[in-house]
Structure 1
Amino acid sequence: MKRGFIVTNDSVSKPKRSTSRSAGYDFVSPVEVLIKPGDKVMIDSCVRVYCNKNEYLACHIRSSLGSRGITLTNCTGIIDSDYFDTGNTIKMMLINNGEEPVLIDKGDRVMQGIFCEYLLADDDDVTVERTGGLGSTGN
């Protein structure tokens, strides 16, 4: 397997890098949404990601939104390689920590995903497989 994106909605563009030296692939909003101070919203990106089993996609808010008080509710989203097997798309869970409402227009770049590799501890012996979607690996 390699790594890449599958878009599930024809009106949404595939995540892409802005420049040849950009680390992150920009995710756009498929909808317009106004986020008032203190409000939380979940936007379905309409994107699925696939990557190798020793990789994950780290999702971060774009700095242009962060400077206006918008952050991901979990700070950094971690999309494990086996999330692809659930058939689910990536969700952008946002909160407005600022003092002003923020309008996100359809097509605005909201989040960036960076492919990362990870290592395992010598005594790692986990054999449990994912059985669900969003947040399913926690107790």
Structure 2
Amino acid sequence: MKRGFAVVNKYANANLSLPSRSTEHAAGYDFQAAEDFILPSIWRMPFLKVLWQIRHNDVVTSESDEQASKIIKPLLVPTGIKAYMGDDEYLMIANRSSNPLKRGLILPNGVGIIDADYVDNPKNEGEIFIQMINFGLHDVTIKKGERIGQGIFMPFLVTDDDQKQIKKTRQGGFGSSGIN
């Protein structure tokens, strides 16, 4: 097979649906949450405290800054899905257009890139996670099976001298190119 999706072993018995396109001309395959997941709102203490301090030209301690940074850190919503594709392809993960508009959910990195060698990596079997932040006022509960993002298979090009460059074999999982 040239490209497609499979369920990772961790979710083998979870009755997950493989990503699919909703309409005949849709570019993206809809990804669903593998389990119920609470995505907390960023509008909580200590993030609000740091905003207040900045607004009032108050000193922001490194401890306050660190605590606030934890609040706005993106979370990884599991899909239980891995993707396989040709060596000259990648899977682009994009937000659903309704997420920011209706729910205040965004992908902080804009898009995610799943490389062909991410599948079956030793760290997490190539499970795709969708990185999200909730800018809404309230925590959002994402239910198992709820559509949370979309994946679009894309070809890519390399430079003329790419073959001369030494490449390493991917060892890591999410956010890893295998290069330390």
- Assess same fold via TM > 0.5: yes
Structure 1 residue 118: Cα displacement: 0.3
TM-score (norm 2): 0.70
Q: Is the 8 A contact 2:83 2:126 kept in 1?
A: no
Q: What is the CA–CA distance in structure 2 between the aligned matches of 1:56 and 1:126, rounded to whole Å?
A: 20
SS at match of 1:65: helix
Residue equivalent to 1:64: 98
Residue equivalent to 2:141: 103
Residue equivalent to 1:31: 35
More strand by share: 1
Q: Is the 8 A contact 2:38 2:140 kept in 1?
A: yes
Structure 1 residue 32: Cα displacement: 1.9
Q: What is the CA–CA distance in structure 2 between the aligned matches of 1:130 and 1:41, rounded to whole Å?
A: 23
Q: Deviations over 1:82-136 (max 9, x none)?
A: 0014022111121112333323122110010000000111122333122222222
Select 1:17's aligned residue among 21, 38, 53: 21
Q: Deviations over 1:4-57 (max 9, x none)?
A: 000132421000000010000001112222322225322221101000000000
CA RMSD in angstroms comes to: 1.7
More helix by share: 2
- Letter aligned with residue 80 of structure 2: C
- Letter aligned with residue 7 of structure 2: V
SS at match of 2:119: helix
Q: How many residues align?
A: 139
Residue equivalent to 1:113: 151
Q: What is the CA–CA distance in structure 2 between the aligned matches of 1:46 and 1:74, rounded to whole Å?
A: 20
Residue equivalent to 2:79: 45
Runs of 4+ aligned structure 1 residues displaced above 4 Å come to: none
Pair 1:77 & 2:138 matched:
no
Q: What is the CA–CA distance in structure 1 between the aligned matches of 2:89 and 2:17, rounded to whole Å?
A: 23
Of all paired residues, the percent bearing the same amino acid is 41
- Letter aligned with residue 37 of structure 1: S
Q: Is the 8 A contact 2:7 2:16 kept in 1?
A: yes
Radius of gyration: which is bigger? Answer: 2
